[in-house]
Each structure stands twice: as structure tokens, then as C-alpha cells.
Structure 1
Amino acid sequence: RYGLRIGVDLSRPIRALLDSDYSGLEFVADYRITKKIYLAAEFGNEEKTSFEALENKDDLNRVEIYNYTTSGSYLKLGIDYNTYENWYGMTNAISFGARYAGSTFSQTLNNYTIFDSNRYWNPTDFAPGSDAPQEFTGLNATWLEFVLGIKVELFANLYLGASVRLAYLFTNTEADTFPNLWIPGFNKVNDNSKFGVGYNYSLSYFIPLYRKKAKKKKNETPVEE
């Protein structure tokens, strides 16, 4: 069977319920072009507020070094190769693939403190900075993802899927005064590495469009895929 499979990532709404500093939604899709190869895409939007704080067991009196909010959208395009040999009529998948991805976003520096070398008056080493939000717009990034995934048909044409992703950051356009510490679709940016990791859990519906007859061998009846 050949057709379009569309769905939504379940992990982001669940994460939003558990984390008040995060919101996000991702749509997923793939289109079968050969017996083993699928065109694949993901499109999403995320917003996350993060902070860096001094180590303190008492969260009520924590000293935040900075607090920022990242908001933006992303698009991932690529292919998946299915390594699973299905029985007749099945379209389950154990696949690997790749995506070329890009994100456009903005960052708002909500507040920050300033390092103070005069430890006598400021034993925490930080002096008050600013609580006036500073917004940085027009930010963007691109990266390559390597994907390992699985899809299982729960009911007729309804699929549950999961994937893990290893990403490599290609380009990263930053503001002059504040770096990109978190990128929608890519997740956390590390100072000493361009690699990132991600995952998703999808629920999708397959829309069958047509069938192809498999090439027959001599003295064999053609079989539909």
C-alpha cells in the first residue's frame, strides 16, 4: 500500500503539561515512494523559558544568573529507509534516515545579574543586573539529523511511532550580545560541541492512495504491495 501518513508528536503536549516553562506542538508526515523508502517531514513550534542559577538547596532563595525565553518554529525534511520485512498486507517499520532541518526563532533575555569581583560586599560574586526584558529577533539555525525510528500499526491505518535523533549543528546565527542557548527543534546548544539529541512519540493515520504490483518472477503470480 502506498499513501500519505500524517500525525502529531505526543511527547510535546505531555511535556507541556508537566513543565510550565515549556509549550510545543509538532506535526509529522511521511509518504511512501518505494517498497523501502519514505519521504518524511516534521513541522513544529516551541517556546521554552530557561535559567542558569547558582547552586542552592533552597530554591526559594536561588540566585539566577540569567533567565531567557526562546520561541520559534522549525521544519525538517528527509527520508526514512525501512529495514523491517513485513508480512503481506502489513506496513510496520523499523527504519533509519536523515533530515535537513532549519529553525527561525527569537530570544528574550528576561533578566540577568552581573559578575562582581568585589566579594566583600557581594559574597555571591554577583551584583544586580537588569529586569528589563531584551528581545533578540531574526535568529536562525540549520542542522542535520540522523534518525532511528519504529512504527507499529495499532488498528487499521492507525500507527504509534517513536524515534531518537542525533543532530549536528551546521549554522547558528546569534545576537551580538547573547548566544543561542536553546533552539526550537534542536534543543539545548552546548558550548563545546555541535551535537544535540532529541526524540518523539507519534500517533499518525495512514491515508492509502494506491497499490503497486510487485515484480513477478517466472511462474509466479504478481503480488500487490
Structure 2
Amino acid sequence: MKTYSYFILSSILLFCVTVQSTAQTKESVKKDSIPFLQGIWIEADVAPVFERALINKNAYRAQGNIQVNLKNKYYPVIEFGYAGADKTASNGIEFSTSGFFGKAGADLSMLKPKPNSTQKNNNFLVGLRLGASRFNYSLYNQTITDNYWGNSETFNLESISSTKLWYEIAAGMRVEVFRNIYMGWTIRNKHLISKTESGQTTPWYIPGYGIGNTSVWGLSYSIGYRIK
């Protein structure tokens, strides 16, 4: 009888341990059940259309990007495009440039996904980009005056080759407006890494970066499609 009672007690204890172990395993699986790849976005930036019409009629730009969602937390991205500018200054000097550019970086989601699908497909993102552009630019009607003799000479500098590197601090939002259709905006603060060396001319416009030789602000407004 004692042996029988011992067997029953041992069976009950073993059952309890097994149930607890199974529950812990299911909980662990549930926590780790978010697939690594959560989606791939292909997006086009429509902000340049409004920039050219309302802000800077001398510059033009076309830009797109491909971004990957990893575990709803990390968002590696590659951006690429073509940009240029043509401007005549008040002193008659003409500037012209065009070229391709590329950027690579990653964003981090600042929102914890909610159970409902509307919330989990919307994001507030912050991140970094490293940008590069290799381009040619030209300067026309530049004038040099000899202060001693008082003579002036006008000359042109054509197809000057230049490579510029910069980094960007980015923050923005992405919202699902229809099934797999997304819209969003990104604010960027850009800082040049490559500086103009002494004795060299400074390009008025850098494709992918913008105007100026110092830090600049930029805005992207994207429309995209989620393909996975």
C-alpha cells in the first residue's frame, strides 16, 4: 500500500513539473515568435516636387529608398538618387552641376508595437545615414581683377570633379494609409565630412546634400509599398 501511495505521489509531482516546464517553453516560444524579417518597403520621395516649385527653383532631385523591417525594431535602409542645380548669381557667375548620390544607414523604432494591426504598422523612427556623392560641376563667367594694373579677365572652369561625404541625423514617421501602402516624412540634419581644401573652389550645390558648405536641414516625404 505504501508503495502504491508513493507511486501515485511521484506521478502527481512529475505531472506538475512537466506542466510547468511546458508552460515556460510555450512562453519562451511566444516571446521569440516574432519573425526576423517583418517586411521590405520600396519608397519614392515626392518632396523634391514641392521644393522645386516653392523653395528652390534652381535645384532638382529624384530620390528613392529600400528599407527592411527586422523584428519590428531595426530598419536598415539604402537611399539613392540623382540631383543637380543650375544657378546664375547676381554678379553674373553661373554654376551648374549634376550627379548621382547614395546613402546607407539604419533607423530604430521608438514605438512598442500594439496588438491591433493599425498601431503595429505605424512607426516613429530615429536613425543615422552616411551619404556620398561623386559629381562634376562647372563655373562660368568668373572674373579676376589685377589690383595693380587694373586689368580684368573672365574665365570658365568646366567639369571639375568632386567627391563629398556627409552624415545625417534623421527622425520621422511612417503610417499605413491603405493595406501595404505607406506614407511618411523624415527630417534630416546633414553635416559634411569632406571639407573644401584651401585653394579649391566650393560647389554651391552638392547632389544629395544640398546648398552650402556647412550643416543643412532637409525634408523627405515618401510614398511606399510593402512587398513582404
> Within the alignment, does 1:134 sit opposite 2:164 as a pair?
no
Root mean square deviation of aligned Cα = 2.6
* Structure 2 portions without partners, runs of 5+: 1-36
1:195 correspondence with 2:215 = yes
Tell me the amino acid that sits aligned with residue 212 of structure 2: V
Q: What secondary structure does 1:84 align onto?
A: coil
Runs of 5+ consecutive residues of structure 1 not aligned to the other structure: 54-62, 209-225
* Partner Cα separation in structure 2 for residue 116 and residue 205 of structure 1: 59
Match of 1:103 in 2: 133
Counterpart for residue 106 of structure 2: 79
- CA displacement 1:193-225 (0-9 Å, x = unmatched): x422211111111112xxxxxxxxxxxxxxxxx
Q: Given the alignment of the two structures, is residue 14 of structure 1 paired with residue 50 of structure 2, yes or no?
A: yes
> Contact 1:108/1:134 (CA < 8 Å) preserved in 2?
yes
Moved beyond 6 Å, runs of 4+? none
Q: Which has more strand, going by share of residues?
A: 1
1:145 CA displacement: 0.8
Shift of 1:3: 1.5
In the other structure, the counterpart of 2:6 is: none
How far is 1:92 from its partner?
A: 0.8
Aligned residues: 187
For 2:186 and 2:83, how far apart are their aligned partners in 1?
18
The aligned residue for residue 56 of structure 1 is none
**2-structure distance, mates of 1:112, 1:26:** 32
* CA displacement, residues 9-54 of structure 1 (integer Å, 9 cap, x when unaligned): 001133345555332200122101122111112101101013432x
The superposition leaves residues 124-175 of structure 1 with CA deviations (integer Å, 9 ceiling, x where unpaired) of: xx96724xx5323431011111101111111111111111111221124679
SS at match of 2:89: strand
Tell me the equivalent position of 1:160: 183
Matches within 5 A, 1:107-186: 107-115=137-145, 129-130=154-155, 133-172=156-195, 177-186=200-209
In the alignment, the residues of structure 2 paired with residue 142 and residue 159 of structure 1 have an alpha-carbon distance, to the nearest angstrom, of 30
Return the letter of the residue paired with 2:85: K
Query: Contact 2:95 / 2:204 at 8 angstroms: preserved in 1?
Result: no
In the other structure, the counterpart of 1:3 is 39
More helix by share: 2
The 10-residue stretch of structure 1 (172-181 or 81-90) with the greater mean CA deviation from structure 2: 172-181
What residue number does 1:219 align with?
none
Identity score, percent:
26
What letter corresponds to residue 106 of structure 1 in structure 2? N
Does the 8 A contact of 1:174 with 1:180 survive in 2? no
TM-score normalised to the size of structure 2?
Answer: 0.72
Which is higher, the Rg of structure 1 or of structure 2? Answer: 2
Which amino acid is 1:96 matched to?
V
Is 1:34 the equivalent of 2:59? no
